[in-house]
């Protein structure tokens, strides 16, 4: 079986990028270990007005500390920080975007959550398509790492020795029949409602957990479409371009799928601000194309 390190050594990545990916992947251990003692809600809100749980803050502070010490990262943009953090004295010039803990409301009920990472050269505020690498760690019954360095999408599982072993090589998203949609049904806009009715009519099965990373991960295997649409009073939806949409969109696109905001490829959007939000349709190519056709 191939380890993460052995796999990365077969790629054309610079050594510093390989080191950065391995370093971030390794943090799944400490983040998971922190689950038990960091369950409570804090009395602070992030910039989106969401009450943070202790684990959101713990994971954010932990990753910040590790990345600062590594000397590999110049700019760090985190969902839990109001501004980009400049890390001085870095020997490499990577910019990292992170959602330290995605799906955090599910921690207290022991459902799968994850850490989502995008890696760029230089600046964090760039079009998603410029990414050098994207990855996420998913904390479910297994801890897995899904990663792309633009040489296919691969899934690794963390074993009891703390090593990532390759489970799936070159995964391609099939055309399947799983669907999910965020936002209250009563707030869906007419076109979105019509699209969901179309999917249901075609026999798509509902699978929505409340953790974007877990909901999208299952699509790599089963195919289908996840959406967090524009909804009444929120024409940009809920999810964040930099921290959630772009890294997962990059991975799904590398696996042959697509990500769209309803009319265009999300990976071509220039971020206007750190907390830029975007309506999301992500998954199998055919399903996303069908949505765009219906939305015209």
Q: Which candidate, 281, 274, 278, places its Cα nearest to that of 295? A: 281
211 is in the binding site of which of Mn ion, ligand AHG, none (Cβ under 5 to 8 A by kind)? ligand AHG
- Minimal CB distance residue for ligand AHG: 212
Tell me which residue has its CB nearest to Mn ion. 102
Residue 93 interaction partner, one of ligand AHG, Mn ion, none, beta carbon < 5-8 Å per kind: none
Locate 183 and state its tokens. 């936002």
CB 35 within 8 A of CB 107: yes
Q: Cα–Cα distance between 136 and 144 in angstroms, integer?
A: 8
The footprint of ligand AHG on residues 225-264 (CB under 6 A) is 228, 238
Whether residue 261 contacts residue 228, with contact meaning beta carbons closer than 8 Å, is answered with no
- The secondary structure element, H or E, covering residue 29 is helix 28-33
Give Cα separations from 245 to 70, 193, 201, 215, 253 (angstroms). 26, 21, 27, 13, 11
Q: Which stretch binds Mn ion (CB under 5 A): 69-77, 78-86, 137-145, 252-260?
A: 78-86
Kindly tell me which residue out of 78, 143, 211, 254 binds ligand AHG, with binding defined by CB under 6 A.
211
**Contacts to ligand AHG from residues 33-72, by CB under 6 A:** 50
Partner whose binding site includes residue 50, from Mn ion, ligand AHG, none (CB under 5 to 8 Å by kind): ligand AHG
CB of 74 to ligand AHG, least distance (A): 24
Taking Cα atoms as reference points, which of 243, 217, 245, 214 lies closest to residue 229? 245
Size of the residue set binding Mn ion (CB under 5 A): 4
Rule CB under 6 A: say whether 275 interacts with ligand AHG: no
Nearer of residues 18 and 238 to ligand AHG, judged by Cβ = 238
Residues between 107 and 136 with contacts to ligand AHG, criterion CB under 6 A: none
Least distance between Mn ion and beta carbon 79 (Å): 5
**Residue closer to ligand AHG, measured from CB, 75 or 79:** 79
For the sheet containing 85-86, what is the strand order? 85-86, 73-78, 94-102, 113-121, 133-139, 143-148, 153-158, 164-168
Measured CA to CA in angstroms, residue 270 lies from 95, 186, 265 at distances of 16, 31, 11
Backbone angles phi, psi at 178, to 5 degrees: -105, 140
Q: Is 104 in the site for ligand AHG (CB under 6 A)?
A: yes
Q: If binding is defined by CB under 5 A, does position 99 make contact with Mn ion? A: yes
Candidates 182, 223, 224, 257; binder of ligand AHG (CB under 6 A) is: 182
102 near Mn ion, rule: CB under 5 A: yes
Residue entry with tokens 């998913």: 138
- Contact residues for Mn ion (CB under 5 A)? 79, 99, 101-102
């Amino acid at each position: 079986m191939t380890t993460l390190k052995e796999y990365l050594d077969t790629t054309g990545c610079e050594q510093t990028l390989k080191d950065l990916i391995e370093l971030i992947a390794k943090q799944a251990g400490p983040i998971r270990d922190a689950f038990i003692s960091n369950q409570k809600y804090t009395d602070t809100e992030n910039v989106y007005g969401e009450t943070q749980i202790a684990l959101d803050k713990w994971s954010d502070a932990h990753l910040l500390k590790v990345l600062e010490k590594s000397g590999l990262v110049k700019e760090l943009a985190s969902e839990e920080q109001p501004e980009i953090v400049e890390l001085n004295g870095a020997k490499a010039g990577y910019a990292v975007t992170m959602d330290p803990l995605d799906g955090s409301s599910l921690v207290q009920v022991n459902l799968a959550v994850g850490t989502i990472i995008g890696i760029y050269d230089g600046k964090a505020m760039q079009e998603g398509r410029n990414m050098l690498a994207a990855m996420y760690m998913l904390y479910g019954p297994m801890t897995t790492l899904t990663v792309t360095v633009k040489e296919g999408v691969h899934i690794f599982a963390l074993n009891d020795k703390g090593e990532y072993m390759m489970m799936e090589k070159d995964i391609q998203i099939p055309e399947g029949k799983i669907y999910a949609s965020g936002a209250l049904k009563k707030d869906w806009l007419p076109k979105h409602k019509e699209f969901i009715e179309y999917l249901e009519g075609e026999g798509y099965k509902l699978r929505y957990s409340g953790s974007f990373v877990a909901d999208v991960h299952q699509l790599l295997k089963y195919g289908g479409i996840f959406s967090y649409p524009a909804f009444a009073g929120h024409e940009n939806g809920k999810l964040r371009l930099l921290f959630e949409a772009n890294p997962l969109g990059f991975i799904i696109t590398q696996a042959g799928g697509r990500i769209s905001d309803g009319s265009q490829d999300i990976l071509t959007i220039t971020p206007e601000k750190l907390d830029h939000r975007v309506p999301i349709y992500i998954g199998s190519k055919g399903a996303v194309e069908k949505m765009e056709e219906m939305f015209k």
